[in-house]
Amino acid sequence: MDPLLLARLQFATTTSIHFLFVVVTLGLVTLLVGLQTAGFVTGKPVYERLTRFWGQLYVINYVLGIATGIVMEFQFGLNWSGLSRYVGNVFGAPLAIETLVAFFLESTFLGMWIFGWHRLRRGVHLALLWGVALTAYASAFWIMVANSWLQHPVGYELRDGVAHLTDFGALLTNPTLGFAFGHVVSASLVTGGMLMAAVSAWHLIRRTPDFALFRKSLRLGLLTFAVAVVFLIGFGFAQFGSVGQVQPTKFGGGADRDALVAEWTTRFGPGDYAPPALSNDGLGFMILIGMALFFGILVVPLLWRDWIIRLRFPLWLVLLALPLPFVAVILGWIAREVGRQPWAAYGLLPTGQAVSPVGAGLMLTSLIGFSLLLGALAVGNWVLLARHAARGAHDPALGRPPAPDTDHRPDPVFA
């Protein structure tokens, strides 16, 4: 088997799985900030119960998502040593910043928030959650900065066959960054809103005793979804112009594409510089799902006087639509990443020169091992999420008040 194909399959598998964790994390933490802030302002206990319930699901997803991220990043040194060596001086800068933000600041804020219930003042505790959310968005931003550089290398110069960063500001103004980051954020809010609405719908279908609680989270989830899906589609279509200008081969032919292919043929030799058909297929199906989700906002008017709950069948529609955002996220990743082929760094480093010089047997072993490990983490995550979601919001473990000390016997050491 071809080691390059195996390496690409491994990276596609692991990054796809990890990305599913990311969108849930970004979406849920935003909703959690809204819930706890509302509880702080109004003082109503319902918001604390909702924060504890959804916060428990968030923590499960976050912990296992961090594990998938750590495992995934091993690939840069194992399978893509050519990429690390050639562009590491540029590509590594935003990745290093992201690591500091995610593994130090974000994790520290989250740990203090988890163990700060009933120990910290309410304002301080809320500020910690805001810190978690802001660092989560900062982490996503720096990942997109790194990815956008691979899509359109800027702010560098080649010295001794290695790319060196010369203009850090150019990384932040990359034309493939802004709309793409907005698209990712919008997709995360759509996914988080749909997840909250679907879990709430399931409890309302079962006529749970916590009717008022899940009625409120159903409304919050659907309203978040409805607003975010408009921005999702807007940012998605806005990318056709900016990306098409810097990547003429991604969306089809034309004079710019032919001129660029002629230039590459002169520099790198003859080859197939058209992206695989999978890229356009993924883009097409993603747009179809996006349009379906857009029309899904028609259920929002049914929130008036609880018609969505009285009719019941709209609740089933919300529940059955839950997989759609996740499928669209994977298809969007395929359109963005596969559409860059055959380049690891567009127009700069061919994928064949980026792969590590290892044999097919070792690469196959790596593919199987990484896929099984991340697959197990993904399955474990969804099992835990489903189990804790099904238990309802009666008494989540997260934020549970400490039990009173009923043992008043003297310590025998000091008796």
Three-state secondary structure string covering 292-316: HHHHHHHHHHHHHHHHHHHHCHHHH
Is residue 400 very low, low, confident or very high in pLDDT (cuts 50, 70, 90)?
confident
pLDDT at residue 404 above 80? no
Average pLDDT, the chain: 90
Q: pLDDT for 310-358, tens place per residue?
A: 999 999 999 999 999 999 999 999 999 998 889 999 999 999 999 999 8
pLDDT of residue 93: 87
Which pair of structure tokens corresponds to residue 80?
């893509």
How many CA within 13 A on the CB side of residue 239?
Answer: 25
Q: pLDDT for 57-109, tens place per residue?
A: 999 999 999 888 887 777 877 889 899 899 888 988 898 888 888 778 899 99
Which pair of structure tokens corresponds to residue 13?
């598998």
Is residue 201 very low, low, confident or very high in pLDDT (cuts 50, 70, 90)?
very high
Q: pLDDT for 231-266, tens place per residue?
A: 999 999 999 988 888 999 888 777 888 889 999 999
Q: What residues have CB less than 8 Å from 128, skipping those under 6 apart?
A: 109, 110, 112, 113, 116, 120
Q: Which residues of 289-301 are buried (b: 16+ CB within 10 A; e: fewer)?
A: bbeebeebeebee
Q: Which residues of 108-138 are buried (b: 16+ CB within 10 A; e: fewer)?
A: ebbebbbebbeeeeeeebbbbbebbbbbbbb
pTM over 0.85: yes
